[in-house]
Amino acid sequence: MAIKKPNTYDQMYPGRFLKAGLFEGKHVTLTIKDVNLEELEGDDGKKTKALIAFNETEMQLVTAKTNGLCIKHMFGDKLSGWIGKRVTFFPSTWNGEPAIRVWGSPDIPADMNVSIQLPRRKPIPMVMHHVGPAGPAAPADPPAQAAPPAAATAPVDDLPL
């Protein structure tokens, strides 16, 4: 079995969880298989984290609250309604660190303006993009969330997920 040569640091050390470097600057659409909570060890000790599993990969996404709120705006409060829905992610940064963010979904009828409200912070306006069959739609105005320039949707098979 041939092993694909790594292009990024995250590809050199794959693990159980998706990392922004695995996306190679591209948008990636994945289908939600399951949503769970798990206690994970971090720098601050053990914390309960939301995990999303996908049909296309064994890797899971440790879901930051911002991403969870974006998905909730697209598919509703009931987690059972998320199962089978497709979400398009893109690599970004948060506090100078690589991060995975939600771009939108092929399963929403049109672009959606949403406001993400985190505790003790100002609301963040974001756009959840309707993703057509050719990949992410080109926004008319710059999005509230930065995406890599000319990012293309990568087939999951092309990424080491």
pLDDT along the chain (161 residues), means of 10: 75 85 93 97 91 97 95 97 98 92 97 93 94 55 42 51 59
**C-alpha distances in Å from residue 1, one per residue of 4, 56:** 10, 20
Say how far apart CA 104 and CA 101 lie, in whole Å.
Answer: 9
Give pTM, 2 decimals. 0.79
pLDDT computed for residue 43 by the predictor: 87
